[in-house]
Structure 1
Amino acid sequence: MRAGSRTSILLTLSLAITALSVSAVPATAVAPPLPGQVAAPDGTTPIPAVQGPLAVTAESYPFGAADHQEVPQDLSKLGYDEEEYLVSGTSNVYTWPTSGPAQVRTPDAPYTTRVLVRKPAKGQKFSGNVVVEMLNPSNLFDLNIGWAMAHEQIVANGDAWVGITAKPIAVDALKNFDAERYGSLSFANPLPLTDPANCSTVAADSSRTTENGLIWDIYSQVGAWLKSNDPANPLRYGSPTTRVEHAYGFGYSQTGGFLVNYINGVHPLVVESDGEPVYDAYIVAVAGGAFAGAYPMNQCELAPPADDARRQFKDVGVPIMRIMSQSDYLRGIGSRRADSDVPGDLYRHYEMAGAGHATPDELIFSASSEDIIAAGRSVPPASCNEGPRSRFPSSIFFNAALRNLDLWVREGIAPPRAEPILVRDGAPVLDEFGNVQGGLRSPFLEAPTSTWYGTATGASFCFIAGYERPLPQDVIDGLYGSHGDYVKEVKSSVRELEGQAFLTDYDARQLIKEAAQSKIP
């Protein structure tokens, strides 16, 4: 298995939060911009102040840098550069009524966070697309999951990828890792501890001195910066104006749930103020319904209930793909809705048959174990009681999804539709090999050699890691009379899926190559 082609998936466990009832308060006069911040005309999304790119030395480098991943990656061989920036501005803290978009609770709270940028080294190779991800903090440090899942398509198309530190608990890890480099980062709570609105009880991964709810305006402002003509914009490539044509929002598990809040609560505010959205489409990954389907808009209020309409998408105005895994689709079944090609309500819902939520690649493509320990965090286990985390290559689905999303936005080509995983009486319907029926298909289930499970037992996130159990040899021998028979079955599945646009051409070639090099049966 090629490590560079296998994507990882990680989840978040929603933390229980004791709510304090708060009332929305009207916004006060807008605070003056911070030094270097570009004041927004007529209340449009402001451009943050930017410091960087930060210097990189042997002693000081970005947390999660490509050449310091668990399995180091040489971006120069891909024709890519990596840069890190600090961005600062002011963010509103919002509350989210049961109907309508978010409302300002506390205005103009200063923040500073960091942004990791990977982009084509040469401007002529840049596609004009930037995938912007709120980095997943579920293990209490930043995980580069979007890059892990879709970097092959990002590189093949010449897209840029941008990751944003999105939560105070991840800021703490960064400061542990490199206090000098990250010392100015701040998600400070604008409310003093003596303010009754600063709730006395927060989630276990949170603090009363910080505010998780600053991320929403940060996400808007970073996207606006990348689309702006600001001299500090790394995607100008020396030209007078930005080279960005489209920004695509991406979130995975916890930050997939963050995207639900953003899309339904904040995206409408941006459209109202700016006349258009910052993000032109979204991929909401392994987050939906009762599974990471939404989060508290600020740390003093509860997340919307599992059956709340705020967890579902309707008439957002830009294309949305929601992609669930075999680990989470049952708990997230409330996120299911009909696909749509209606203008203003462009939507696809996919469920990856066989795929686990948390796979090895979330670690392969993120900070090394040594750096995780230096950040004061525990290294997540790569194995569970049943064995190694599932090796199922979810990247094949995300590569195709990103390609199809871009075609939807640029050319109006509607993506393919797929049936959800088949469920009857609250349980999946299995085939004779113990694999689920329906869902996004692949040769791993169409030409089976294993049973694929979405859940395992053990520490940390094993309950959504999944695992693989090879079929008995006599079963495999009965399915495939020869190695050639097996390769033929794989080719048949791959060609059908590629023709339906569920696989990219490069993943199709790789799957056939791997089948040819295998020793099956």
Structure 2
Amino acid sequence: MKTIRQRTAFSAGLLALAAHIGGVHAQSAGDVQTDIPVPQVSGPVPVSAESHPFGAAAHTLQPQDLAQMGYIEEEYFISGQANVYDWPERGTLTVRTADVPYTTRVLVRRPVRAERFSGNVVVEMLNPSNLFDLNIGWAMSHTQMLRNGDAWVGITAKPIAVETLKQFDAERYADLSWANPLAASDPLNCEVSRDTTQATENGLVWDIHSQVAAWLRSANADNPFVYDGTASAAEMLYAWGYSQTGSFLYTYINAIHPEVVSVRGESLFDGYLVAVSSGPAPIHQCAERVPRDDPRRPIENAGVPVIHVMSQSDYLAGIGSRQPDSDAPGNRFRRYEIAGSGHASPDELYWGPKPQDLIQAGRAVPPLACNEGPRSRFPNRLAFNAALVWLDQWARDDIAPPRADLIDVVDGEPVLDEHGNVVGGLRSPYVDVPTSTWNGNSTGESFCRIAGHEIPFSQEKLRRLYPSHDAYVSAVTNSVNALVEQGFLLAEDGADVIREAKRSEVPRW
């Protein structure tokens, strides 16, 4: 692997090894810094009746009382210096702009008591696709995190989301900055559009991500996981990204992760969960998208486990990102395609910022329904809860997750069963004991094209499939038991599915 180097080449090879990764500076050829810098931290930021964190658990569409669950939520501001990189080819990373000052915010949800903490921290770059922070990882899997005692850390990961924060509470978020040090007239500062401006720089996110991880692993007193005042209780850090931030993780794994390992001798993260993304994001806001056949696209030889999850909304468009599962020690990789699932689920809105806060921030409230009806209620949490457990077992104990078939595709089209549901993929009782046809794509405003919807079966069809309510519950129970035995469903989630079946009206009319 080629070492990182500045645009103006260093004269000494040892200097190249230590060159400006995440603000690391080489003092001399014989004095090489071998770790990632820890950012400066301010917080927890006070909360009052007049000022609360944007997206706080108590201020979501479906509010959560974390204190009742033995958890605490804290917001921090972190500051440091980050580089903007170029990534011309796999194994080559160059510094485009060095040591750019930044300040961003981090939201932490953790057990109050150390003995309740599992040692697992899910680190999520908050999704900015709606132009504001969405905590999709928490929305999908907070049930599993809470019952296991895991912590969650969300990072504001794009300047457009910072703009939203400032519009929401200008005083609270006054210090946040992703300012671009390059003048608009600088040839390296290109014209941009939609959610990006020349005044800011998206490419700071990579070093921010690394520096947050370094902070969480540090013994600094401001680390929220230094419960006893001496060392971080954060044993395992798992990076989590979804859709746009799934693409961020693709780039981080393939471009940044190897250099972090070369600098500090090991990974900052113990595993990665890359969701509903089929390739890397541009390394900075002026960079071109990575072409479909580019060698930089596959996730290979990360050295830590990587789980890649696709939904039914996007697996077909991203079919070129399919790559073989692997158990090789240096290349542990799994791909799952969730049969029946939607990409833009209602969960991300249920546990996202409440509409009043979105309006205060000057953002549109995303719709919970599309032209075909409500967003798909398909429970993505079943797969994502299992994926968190698989990732942890693989990283901690080298217990490999089960392998699942991919969704069947023939001549570029999905293979459908008699009910119109896809064949293959990661299964659940919702497709194996169906009461609906599950679609991954819909029509309408905002992200309806990837929201999905269901078409419930008629009463007559339900009666044909399930002659009695007991017959339906029995079929669901058998499906749950088989999936739990195969390792595709957590027992706790399976019990919830059975309880839901017992409460249902299938087919009681």
* Global fold match (TM > 0.5): yes
| Letter matched to residue 131 of structure 2 | L
Paired with 1:414 and 1:461, the residues of 2 have a C-alpha distance of: 34
Say yes or no: does 1:330 pair with 2:316: yes
The answer to whether the 8 Å contact 2:23/2:99 transfers is no
Deviation at 1:271, TM superposition (A): 0.2
Deviation at 1:49, TM superposition (A): 0.1
Q: Output one character per residue of 1:269-306: Cα deviation in whole Å (capped at 9) or x when no partner.
A: 10010111111100000111xxxx22110111112012
1:119 aligned residue: 110
1:6 aligned residue: none
Paired with 1:26 and 1:204, the residues of 2 have a C-alpha distance of: 34
Deviates more, 1:161-170 or 1:122-131: 122-131
The answer to whether the 8 Å contact 1:318/1:344 transfers is yes
Note closer, same or farther for the CA distance 1:41–1:121 as it changes in structure 2 (3 Å cut). farther
- Residue 67 of structure 1: SS of its match in structure 2? helix
Deviation at 1:98, TM superposition (A): 2.2
The answer to whether the 8 Å contact 1:31/1:108 transfers is no
Paired with 1:98 and 1:156, the residues of 2 have a C-alpha distance of: 42
Q: Output one character per residue of 1:458-510: Cα deviation in whole Å (capped at 9) or x when no partner.
A: 00100000000011221111111111110011001101111122111211110
Paired with 1:180 and 1:135, the residues of 2 have a C-alpha distance of: 21
Q: Which residue among 135, 142, 153 is the counterpart of 1:144? A: 135
2:432 aligned residue: 446
Say yes or no: does 1:365 pair with 2:354: no
1:171-250 equivalence runs, <5 A? 171-199=162-190, 201-250=191-240
Paired with 1:265 and 1:211, the residues of 2 have a C-alpha distance of: 18
Q: Which residue among 47, 64, 72 is the counterpart of 1:56? A: 47
2:28 aligned residue: none
Say yes or no: does 1:77 pair with 2:68: yes
Paired with 1:177 and 1:436, the residues of 2 have a C-alpha distance of: 42
Say yes or no: does 1:499 pair with 2:485: yes
Higher RCO, 1 vs 2 (CA within 8 Å, ≥6 residues apart): 1
Q: Which residue among 69, 79, 82 is the counterpart of 1:88? A: 79
Paired with 2:156 and 2:326, the residues of 1 have a C-alpha distance of: 33
Q: Which residue among 120, 125, 131 is the counterpart of 1:134? A: 125
- Residue 103 of structure 1: SS of its match in structure 2? strand
Say yes or no: does 1:468 pair with 2:459: no
TM-score computed with the length of structure 2 as normaliser: 0.94
- Between the aligned residues of both structures, percent identity stands at 57
1:486 aligned residue: 472
The answer to whether the 8 Å contact 1:256/1:284 transfers is yes
Deviation at 1:30, TM superposition (A): 6.0
Say yes or no: does 1:286 pair with 2:272: no
Deviates more, 1:227-236 or 1:100-109: 100-109
Deviation at 1:307, TM superposition (A): 2.5
The answer to whether the 8 Å contact 2:22/2:83 transfers is no
The answer to whether the 8 Å contact 2:402/2:486 transfers is yes
Paired with 2:309 and 2:445, the residues of 1 have a C-alpha distance of: 25
2:241 aligned residue: 251
1:403 aligned residue: 389
Deviation at 1:194, TM superposition (A): 2.9
TM-score computed with the length of structure 1 as normaliser: 0.92
Paired with 1:120 and 1:68, the residues of 2 have a C-alpha distance of: 19
Aligned pairs, number: 489
The answer to whether the 8 Å contact 1:101/1:266 transfers is no
Deviates more, 1:302-311 or 1:140-149: 302-311
Q: Which residue among 346, 371, 375 is the counterpart of 2:332? A: 346
Paired with 2:7 and 2:193, the residues of 1 have a C-alpha distance of: 21
Note closer, same or farther for the CA distance 1:320–1:486 as it changes in structure 2 (3 Å cut). same
Unmatched 5+ residue regions in structure 1?
Answer: 1-22, 35-39
The answer to whether the 8 Å contact 2:90/2:254 transfers is no
The answer to whether the 8 Å contact 1:203/1:299 transfers is no
